[in-house]
Structure 1
Amino acid sequence: MQTSELQILVVLAEEMNMRKASERLFVTQPALSQRLQSIEKSWGFQIFIRSPKGLLLTPAGEKVISFAKEVVEKEEKVREQISELENEVHGTLKLAVASIIGQHWLPERLKKYVQTYPHAKISLITGWSSEILKSMYDDHVHLGIIRGNHDWKGIKEHLLTDTLYLVDTEISRVEDVLHTERPFIQFKSDSSYYQEIQDWWHRQFQTTPKRTIVVDQIETCKQMAFNGIGFAILPSVTLKEDEQNIYKIPLLDEYGQPIERDTWLLGFESSFELKQVKAFIDIIRNEK
């Protein structure tokens, strides 16, 4: 069986939907269905069960997919090793990045990367730092960028430190929070960030917020605060100096110092040896 056919099976197993898989593979649904029938015929048994809700793997199909993923991953690693022999930067740079960094810090660096190395590809996933760590340990990516101080047994390099601010269109002093009926807008985050905010809040006010709105994304939280719906606590990496008509009050710890949050680059030594990874690291080091 050709590797291209194994790649088709891997995409089908990831999507479990013919339409979505055909879009990813840039083929029509009928053409993909025909290819799948041909692949199943070559194996001599059904790999997927078609249903109105999508695809289901047969027990035999599960073993085939496991085999397909292994072969595709090995081929990709071989191609990366071969690209190391060439002068230009090739291969796929696989990144797993904390959502806040992916939205506000990373795009400028990635733009420079793709302009400088047009032959390189990028695979990017974003999420909470705990999810990024799991992707790293599962060996799904080359580099991870996380928020907060987490244990890591590979290479760990400091990228940036930012501070936390209470932002609002009306509140200009922290003490005014106790007298407002405006809601506290929170965004869902990993446990370490949430605990940091909770600790500051209880140390500052010894009470809970009167009203709270919880949103899924930090950018939604920011836009709601900037549009006067309520106040929020945001890291400085999400804020710009020239933003108008918004108060930004720094959060202080028990010693009167700004509360800071670190961002780290993580990786294993083997990944740092890849040319496309080295190129990306050089860019972000030069941007510090």
Structure 2
Amino acid sequence: MATSATPAVPTVTLNNGVEIPQLGFGVFQVSDDATTAAVTAALETGYRSIDTAAVYGNEAGVGRALAASGLPREELFVTTKLWNADQGYDATLRAFDASLAKLGLDHVDLYLIHWPTPARDLYRESWRALERLAEEGRIRAAGVSNFQPDHLRRLLDGATLTPAVNQIELHPGLQQAELRAFHAEHGIATEAWSPLAQGAVLDEAAITAVAARHGRSPAQVVIRWHLQLGNVVIPKSVTPHRIRENFDVLGFSLSDEEMRSVAALDRDLRTGPHPDELN
């Protein structure tokens, strides 16, 4: 596995050859003003991958932090997402232009369809728009979020691009083995949102025992578990010391036995909606 512009952070090579840092920073449920401070702290810590979305309402805040950082654009990996109300070919292109303007960028590294919204049945049209954006070089990689195997199969039927990424809810309580196996079969990278289950798994005895053994926090253990599984992971915090702590996960490893003890926590624990039910 290659290294990113921040040398300690491993990267995952996507199916089109683009490299994404395996450890990134998310800004879900962070206000626009607070996002600027949080992303600034993340960049100062060493994060180079920032994940936002149109519906978060904080793309401008991300853009301000990126511009003020002084970091070369080629060292940054920026992800944003198409919201459900903007699905459809022409609407997707307009929504992308709006996101790009708020971010203050001339391209994004990864653009995702945020939810399949199967009842609206527009995600294949939106995917054609993402294929166009990729062909024009306005996005370096195209992907999806919250797609289940059936959604992916339908998307791939007639598509010219296979999604580079599927960003899904994934943590020790919801490990999505069937979906991860589908990703592996089709060369789709797995990216985990809500990687700590909004804290719901951090008091589990299996995790606290591993944390005590390594002198680490439960959150660090869970993030390390993700990395060793091969997931791309985007923990979120607005607290500078937690931002730094979540990044400090590269200096230790979990044993095979410890990985199995965390894997035993799988129990279909969702913190967000099921993809078949959100429209």
Normalised-by-shorter TM-score class: under 0.3
Q: Under a length normalisation based on structure 1, what TM-score does the superposition of the two structures give?
A: 0.26
| Higher strand content, 1 or 2 | 1
Larger radius of gyration: 1
